[in-house]
Amino acid sequence: MCGIFFSLSASGPVLPNEETCGLLRNRGPDSLQVQQVERNVNTDQTRSVPSVLTFVSTVLSMRGDQVVAQPLVDDTTQSVLCWNGDAWKIAGEPIRGNDTQLIFNLLLQAARLSCNSGSSATLDGGSTTQRVVDVISSISGPFSFIFYDAISAKLYFSRDCLGRRSLLQGLDETGAFKICSLCDGTSSTHFDEVGTTGVHMIDFTYRVMQDSPISEADTTHFNPDSIQTLPWESVDHPGHLRNPIPPMNRSVPQNVPPQLGVESPCVSELEQRLLASLALRIQNVRDPPGYIAERNGKVAVLFSGGLDCTILARLSHELLPADESIDLLNVAFENPRVAAAASKEAKEGSVYENCPDRITGRAAFAELQAVCPSRNWRFVAIDIPYAETLAHRDTVKRLMRPHNTEMDLSIACALYFASRGQGSAFDSHEGNADSQSYTTPARVLLSGLGADELFAGYARHGMAYSRNGFEGLIDEIDLDVSRLGKRNLGRDNRVIAHWGREARFPYLDEDFVSWVVQAPVWEKCGFGLAEPEGNDSTISTSDIDPEKRALRLVALKLGMPNVAREKKRAIQFGSRTAKMEKGRVKGTDALS
């Protein structure tokens, strides 16, 4: 995980403000560097003005055997790369070690080849643009980046097509253009999420700046209309990017679809494809600071005890060394409104242990111990008093901008404290030993995000099927997948990365998502399926919910019947971050 900042200004260098610089350091504690480039930039009046391009990068080093500081700068051309991502594959080939330098070399090669050929670069297939597009199209993995091609005087910036890394853009009060991993400034109105529609490009040989009188003197502002977008396309097209995610399979069954069971071929293939996605994300992880091989793990799971995260924990057991612990981070909040209601009803027990996610978390922890007794599972109970929630609330609101609703805050609070990883640890290999204060050293956090969207896990999917059958269900799944980057991933990335940790999303691997969206809908969930006849290989599936049925069957196959039957629960209700104060508040209400 890294922090990125860029500015373009005709009034001198513009650096991130002090608060933003501190937040960028939190994202990337291993390195911070600044690079500035001066160049003349054209205005609307066909004249050019001296301008400064400022690049800032912080680095959380996760791969390779050494820290690769950023921004990367080519001494010969003065081209610059700020990279925040994980390239798991390039052109379909897995890569190990540091990916940043490799990608920079490919981009420089694309720029130099175009320069040597003497070709001009245009959006409709010109040499430089096409070669850069080809490099970006070849990358599999989450990323956001800024690449300045000094040879052709172009700036490229984007997020991957799913939006798994945060990147924001906006204008400040002086008219300077900024791109940043998080909002730079006190107002959320200046910044928007960079769209996941394609790679965005600024060509400095065209009209990039404009004269704008804002007081007694004229100043030069950035012209937002100068940003061009090279869109993702499902088919190859010159000057466009190849979208790794194909269109949704919209076929509907002509009759009642066949029963989906534990031994169905698609269930076995689902397990194997998820294992392959997970292996890229948890194998060959560098030892984090403070790591002690005899007692620590390198990987932790954001763990509610629900279906999606528990499957990831269970499959991680198949991939990680036998002597490596796996941390299960389970967060529960003191909710004064819920506590008051419990007091009136004379309910006993800890306010934290009565949280729904704590109950399911401990049950799933027990099931993991039973099915994988050789593994040391470390359950980390993260208890957050109400006073601590209030103390950190402004920071959470600052990180999640430009998102600004009650629901955003509830979800962000849960992820913020869970990813801090600080609580009381219970080790499965230590029997009934007392819990110990513990902070996970793991920098890799596994998240189950994406499973609900891909496999129809929300209540609205059942409602869509009830209203409009399979066509309505497919429409709802397609909508959910298409808006993941805008609704969830940027916000979640900004909150989790604050602790110098990196969330990884095995359900959102490009190859995995491609396979799921091309599968017929009846192989993903159980709506409209025939009633099972008897038992399926001695494992009863008659009471398995239709939501995410294929994943539930994987859990059954892996020996976790209770997890397979666990009901879906939103994180804000499971951890009890929702509706902490009295009053009629809706999740969609804007924060004051």
* 519-568 tens-digit pLDDT: 999 999 999 887 655 555 445 676 889 999 999 999 999 999 999 999 88
Distances (CA, A) of 218 to 48, 209, 210, 511, 583: 15, 13, 10, 52, 49
**Burial tier of 224 (Cβ tally within 10 Å: 0-12, 13-18, 19+):** exposed
Q: Token match 């040499």: residue?
A: 127
Q: pLDDT (tens digit, 9 = 90+) per residue, 291-339?
A: 887 678 899 999 999 999 999 999 999 999 999 999 999 999 998 888 7
Express as a percent the part of the chain with pLDDT over 90. Answer: 68
- The pLDDT value recorded for residue 218 is 66
Q: How confident is the model at residue 577 (pLDDT cuts 50, 70, 90)?
A: confident
- Report CA torsion sign: 258, 261, 265, 271: positive
Per-range mean pLDDT, top range of 110-114, 357-361, 432-436: 357-361
- Distance, in Å, from the CA atom of 535 to the CA atom of 553, rounded to the nearest integer, reads 13
What is the average pLDDT value for the chain, to the nearest integer?
89
449-482 pLDDT, tens digit each:
999 999 999 999 999 999 999 999 999 999 999 8
Closest CA to 371 of 544, 550, 539, 558: 558
Burial class (CB in 10 A: 0-12, 13-18, 19+), 177: buried
Lowest-confidence pick of 32-36, 183-187, 202-206, 275-279? 183-187
Question: What is the per-residue burial (b if ≥16 Cβ within 10 Å, else e) of 472-499?
Answer: ebbebbbebbeebbebbbbbbbbbbbbb
Report which DSSP code applies to 29. Answer: B
The pLDDT tens digits for 116-158 are 555 444 444 457 888 899 999 999 999 999 999 999 999 999 9
One-letter amino acid for residue 245 of the chain: I
Identify the pLDDT of residue 225.
92
Percent of the chain at pLDDT above 70?
A: 90
Across residues 55-77, what is the average pLDDT?
Answer: 91
Beta strand 326-333 pairing with 299-302: parallel
Please give the structure tokens belonging to residue 24: 């960028």
Coil, strand or helix: which one is 514?
helix
| Element of type H or E holding 444 | strand 444-446
Contacts of 131 (CB under 8 A, 6+ apart): 110, 111, 113, 114
What are the pLDDT digits (tens) for 155-170?
Answer: 999 999 999 999 999 9
- Sketch out the chain's domains with CATH numbers: 2-113+127-242 (3.60.20.10), 265-452+485-508+554-575 (3.40.50)
For residues 11-31, average pLDDT: 94
Task: Please give the full DSSP string across 241-287, using - where no structure is assigned.
Answer: EEPSSPPPP----SSPPPPP-TT-HHHHHHHHHHHHHHHHHHTTPPP
Model confidence band, residue 219 (pLDDT cutoffs 50, 70, 90):
confident
Q: Out of 112-126, 228-242, 559-573, which region has the weakest mean confidence (pLDDT)?
A: 112-126
The candidate with the shortest Cα–Cα distance to 374, out of 324, 315, 422, is: 324
Task: Classify residue 140 as left (phi > 0), alpha (psi -120 to 50) or beta.
Answer: beta
- Residue 46 is predicted with a pLDDT of 75
Contact 328, 447 (CB under 8 A): no
Give residue 43's identity as a one-letter amino acid code.
T
Q: What mean pLDDT do residues 100-125 have? A: 72
Residue 42, classified by CB atoms within 10 Å of its CB into exposed (0-12), middle (13-18) or buried (19+), is: buried
- The answer to whether the beta carbons of residues 144 and 179 sit under 8 Å apart is no
What mean pLDDT comes out for the span 46-64?
A: 91
Preceding omega of 71 cis (within 30 degrees of 0): yes
DSSP 8-state assignment for residue 540: -
Write down the pLDDT at residue 79: 97
Q: Determine contact, residues 402/168, Cβ cutoff 8 Å.
A: yes
pLDDT tens figures, 187-196: 545 799 999 9
Q: Which pLDDT value is given to residue 125?
A: 42
Q: Identity (one letter) of the amino acid at 489?
A: L
Tell whether omega for the bond before 385 is within 30 degrees of 0, i.e. cis.
no
> What local confidence, expressed as pLDDT, does residue 127 receive?
76
CA nearest neighbour of 527 among 544, 540, 502: 544
According to the model, what pLDDT value does residue 124 have? 40
3-state secondary structure string across 453-506: HHHCCCHHHHHHHHHHHHHHHHHHHHHHHHCHHHHHHHHHHHHHHHHCCEEECH
Q: How many residues in total does the chain contain?
A: 592
CA-nearest of 211, 150, 181, 159 to 11 is 211
pTM given for the model = 0.93
Mean pLDDT over 31-55 rounds to 91
Q: What are phi and psi of 491, to 5 degrees?
A: -60, -50
Residue (of 33, 41, 38, 71) closest to 52 by Cα position: 38
Contact predicate 422/442, CB 8 Å = no
